[in-house]
Chains A and B, each alone.
Chain A
Amino acid sequence: MTSNSSPGGRPVTPENRQSTGAAMPGAERAMFGVAGAFLLTAGLRGGSPFQKLAVTVLGAGLTALAVMGRSPVATALKIQQNEDGETLVSDAVTIGKSADELYAIWRKLDNLPQLMRHLERVEVLDERRSRWTVKAPMGYSGGEVSWEAELTADEPGQRIAWQSLPGAQIENSGEVLFRPAPGDRGTEVVVRLTYRPPLGSAGALAARILGQEPSQQLRDDLMRFKREQELGYHPTTEGQSSGRASKGGKA
């Protein structure tokens, strides 16, 4: 397997990766269409001239997006989707440490919940299989969702890949690449996650709005990992002095 293939053997190429946001699913499309038409009508009907203009423009915009079938929210929030309807999340960071050191930390799978904060637990079952647990997204009862995953690639100092096993409620896969940064700058760590959102794209959007959206979370996770590795601590201003403490909170 080459280093740019995803675990299912499907290469991650520009062809199956839509970089400019996600197509809008039918339900969302209809919702935007209705909202757009409503605002258009309202805008053309009444209010001050400025309100009229603003509401009309917003309505026209939503209608146009519904007609084009692009989700404006997904586009703005950089959600990527491949042709199989899977959501892709990827990001990268350069860290001033060797690939071997960084690989060793990721390879110990029970470290993963510290590295990727959306994970509650990862229990190693045997050499290839592990059990992963996350807090449940919307629409699930019980508070947690678990699945079994297996390693699909383990190339020391270069790459680790995994894939959920059949029966997983959230079908997902992922890989971490470690490659030397040019000019002795340490190691480029690339993380790619693929998953089928539990409620289609709307579920991912809801999750994003609730602050659990994977793309931002991954960015935060990678920056935290970099700072842990380079500094050994996280810079902070929490608990510092300000004029808010004396006045009871933010204005």
Chain B
Amino acid sequence: MKAIIWQGTNHVGVETVPDPTLLLPTDAIVRVTSTAICGSDLHLLDGYIPSMERGDILGHEFMGEVVEVGSDVKKVRVGERVIMPFNLACGVCDPCQRGMFSACDNSNPNHRMAEALYGATSASGLFGYSHLFGGYAGGQAQFVRVPFADVSCFAIESDLRDDQVLFLTDIFPTGYQAAENCGIMPGRDVVAVFGAGPVGQFALRSAQMLGAAEVIVVDRVPERLRLAEAAGARTINYEETDVLVALREATGGRGPDHVIDAVGLEAHGHGPGALLDTAEQKLRLSFDRITALRWAILSCAKGGTVSMPGVYGGLVDKLPLGAAFSKGLTLKMGQTHTHRYVRPLLGRIQEGEIDPSFVITHRAPLSKGPELYKTFREKHDGCIKVVLDPWA
């Protein structure tokens, strides 16, 4: 089959690799019909997530049709149209039982590596996202092996198009959990979203669904800001104005009640902190550039929440913890417990509350994937979200 392969930092390519096979009786094989490139894939392309190996198959936002199931698969049937959350969960352990699927105790075979870096017990496995997170082959491919099939596969029985349900695998639940983590008081709270990329776009719309009085979106890319404005957000271009001053003014001097950092570890931005981050990241002294997080903490109103769906991987420097402490902020972060949100958000799509396909700017065959990784990274050609067809 054809698959997008990580060939080293800054290099991804389409290669012909063996078709996946069932490795355990609880696995299924899915023929992928649509697969997306996620903003977090760019951290892999840029080499900021450790433990990638040449030859790894990328991709964690995909859907398709079940073509084979193992002997212990009870619910999933061959022929079903399914989506799979990007994270893997056993469904049995205590965190899974409590709905904390991304904290699954059992899904990461490389728990040793994760424990060494992150302490305590291991992080869950993820599709196509480095050996630290299990080393599972991803779904930017014609076929994919789906472990824990009965827990991982959600059947889509409606006639919704792939485009409309594909993002239930990651970015829609991720934006939604980010907004939910804010504990928005409907009709009262103002929410600021840093980063108008795909997750930021869903966080903005989710904050609106949860009753935010107003949402303010901060970015520097005009077409992304326009897409946020189209949803009714106020926008700030941080390259044209002092973002902290603009947020104060927009909120009557209080600051936004909650701030969502939908940027993560490769933030741009300016000032001495941003320069230092970039220097440290280039020298591999620090993995993470945290301008967005600094702004989030500094701008947030007293008693507010800083919610972080953006990915961080390592150590950070010059984090304004004193500001967070003195304002009594709540910091919430982490991988999305995607499984928890698939059905409720599918319901919202079916009821016409949202059509997630609004975010797609580029559709192409899988073979164009490698060049679209670059287009997406450089934000060229108005690129916000790429969906690939493995069979075109």
| A pairs with B | yes
Interface check B190, CB cutoff 8 A: no
A 233-251 contacts with B by CB, 8 A: 233-247, 250-251
A235 to B23 alpha-carbon distance, docked (Å): 9
> Quick one: closest A residue to B144, CB to CB?
A241
Of the candidates A236, A240, A246, the one having the most CB atoms from chain B within 10 angstroms of its own CB is A240
Other A-B contacts than A219-B115, A230-B90, 17 sampled, CB-CB below 8 A, are: A96-B92, A96-B93, A220-B112, A226-B105, A227-B106, A230-B106, A233-B25, A235-B107, A235-B108, A235-B148, A237-B135, A241-B19, A241-B145, A247-B55, A250-B55, A251-B7, A251-B8
A244 to B112 alpha-carbon distance, docked (Å): 23
Interface check A231, CB cutoff 8 A: yes
Which of B10-18, B310-318, B364-372 lines the interface with chain A? B10-18
> Quick one: closest A residue to B15, CB to CB?
A243
Interface check A186, CB cutoff 8 A: yes
**B interface footprint on A77-100 (CB within 8 Å = 1, 0 otherwise):** 000000000000000001010000
A94 touching B94 in the complex, CB below 8 Å, given contacts A235-B108, A235-B109: yes
A 1-28 contacts with B by CB, 8 A: none
Contact yes or no, B106 A243, CB < 8 A: no
**B interface footprint on A87-117 (CB within 8 Å = 1, 0 otherwise):** 0000000101000000000000000000000
Interface check B53, CB cutoff 8 A: yes
A 193-251 contacts with B by CB, 8 A: 216, 219-220, 223, 226-227, 230-231, 233-247, 250-251
Identify which of B17, B54, B90, B111 contacts A231 (C-beta below 8 A): B90
> Quick one: closest A residue to B6, CB to CB?
A243
A233 touching B55 in the complex, CB below 8 Å, given contacts A243-B17, A246-B17: no
A241 touching B20 in the complex, CB below 8 Å, given contacts A231-B92, A251-B55: yes
Spell out B's residues near A (CB within 8 Å): 1, 3, 5-8, 15-21, 23-26, 53-57, 88, 90, 92-94, 105-109, 111-112, 115, 122, 125, 134-137, 141, 145, 147-148
Of the candidates A94, A236, A237, the one having the most CB atoms from chain B within 10 angstroms of its own CB is A237
Q: Smallest Cβ distance from A147 to chain B, in angstroms?
A: 29
Report, nearest first, the 7 A-B pairs whose CB atoms are least far apart: A251-B54, A244-B55, A243-B55, A243-B5, A241-B20, A242-B55, A243-B15
Contact yes or no, B109 A237, CB < 8 A: yes
A247 to B92 alpha-carbon distance, docked (Å): 37
A60 to B3 alpha-carbon distance, docked (Å): 50
Contact yes or no, A243 B56, CB < 8 A: yes
Total A-B pairs in contact (CB under 8 Å)? 102
Interface check A185, CB cutoff 8 A: yes
Contact yes or no, B16 A241, CB < 8 A: no
Chain B residues positioned under 8 Å from A247 (CB to CB): 54-55
A245 touching B93 in the complex, CB below 8 Å, given contacts A226-B105, A235-B108: no
Q: Smallest Cβ distance from B44 to chain A, in angstroms?
A: 14
A242 to B94 alpha-carbon distance, docked (Å): 32
Contact yes or no, A235 B17, CB < 8 A: no
Chain A residues positioned under 8 Å from B92 (CB to CB): 96, 230-231
Q: Smallest Cβ distance from A8 to chain B, in angstroms?
A: 31
Q: Smallest Cβ distance from A135 to chain B, in angstroms?
A: 21
DSSP class of A's interface residues: helix, strand, loop or mixed? loop
Q: List 15 A-B contacts (CB under 8 A).
A: A186-B94, A231-B106, A235-B134, A236-B24, A240-B145, A241-B3, A241-B19, A241-B141, A242-B55, A243-B54, A243-B57, A246-B16, A246-B18, A250-B54, A251-B8
A94 to B121 alpha-carbon distance, docked (Å): 11
Identify which of A219, A226, A236 contacts B112 (C-beta below 8 A): A219
Contact yes or no, A237 B137, CB < 8 A: yes
A67 to B138 alpha-carbon distance, docked (Å): 51
Contact yes or no, B53 A251, CB < 8 A: yes
Q: Smallest Cβ distance from A104 to chain B, in angstroms?
A: 20
A186 to B93 alpha-carbon distance, docked (Å): 10
Chain A residues positioned under 8 Å from B107 (CB to CB): 235
Chain A residues positioned under 8 Å from B21 (CB to CB): 239, 241
Chain A residues positioned under 8 Å from B6 (CB to CB): 243
Contact yes or no, B137 A240, CB < 8 A: yes
A247 to B54 alpha-carbon distance, docked (Å): 10
Contact yes or no, B134 A237, CB < 8 A: yes
A242 to B57 alpha-carbon distance, docked (Å): 6
A241 touching B17 in the complex, CB below 8 Å, given contacts A230-B92, A250-B54: yes
Chain B residues positioned under 8 Å from A227 (CB to CB): 106
> Quick one: closest B residue to A235, CB to CB?
B109
Chain A residues positioned under 8 Å from B19 (CB to CB): 241
Chain B residues positioned under 8 Å from A239 (CB to CB): 21, 23
A234 to B147 alpha-carbon distance, docked (Å): 11
Chain A residues positioned under 8 Å from B17 (CB to CB): 241-243, 245-246
Contact yes or no, A216 B112, CB < 8 A: yes
Chain A residues positioned under 8 Å from B115 (CB to CB): 219
A220 to B111 alpha-carbon distance, docked (Å): 9
> Quick one: closest B residue to A242, CB to CB?
B55
Chain A residues positioned under 8 Å from B5 (CB to CB): 242-243
A238 to B136 alpha-carbon distance, docked (Å): 9
Contact yes or no, A244 B53, CB < 8 A: yes
Of the candidates A235, A240, A246, the one having the most CB atoms from chain B within 10 angstroms of its own CB is A235
Chain B residues positioned under 8 Å from A240 (CB to CB): 20, 23, 136-137, 145
Q: Smallest Cβ distance from B56 to chain A, in angstroms?
A: 6
> Quick one: closest B residue to A244, CB to CB?
B55
Q: Smallest Cβ distance from A241 to chain B, in angstroms?
A: 4
A237 to B21 alpha-carbon distance, docked (Å): 11
> Quick one: closest B residue to A251, CB to CB?
B54
Contact yes or no, B53 A250, CB < 8 A: yes
Q: Smallest Cβ distance from A191 to chain B, in angstroms?
A: 16
> Quick one: closest A residue to B116, CB to CB?
A216
> Quick one: closest A residue to B109, CB to CB?
A235
Chain A residues positioned under 8 Å from B109 (CB to CB): 234-237
A231 to B145 alpha-carbon distance, docked (Å): 19
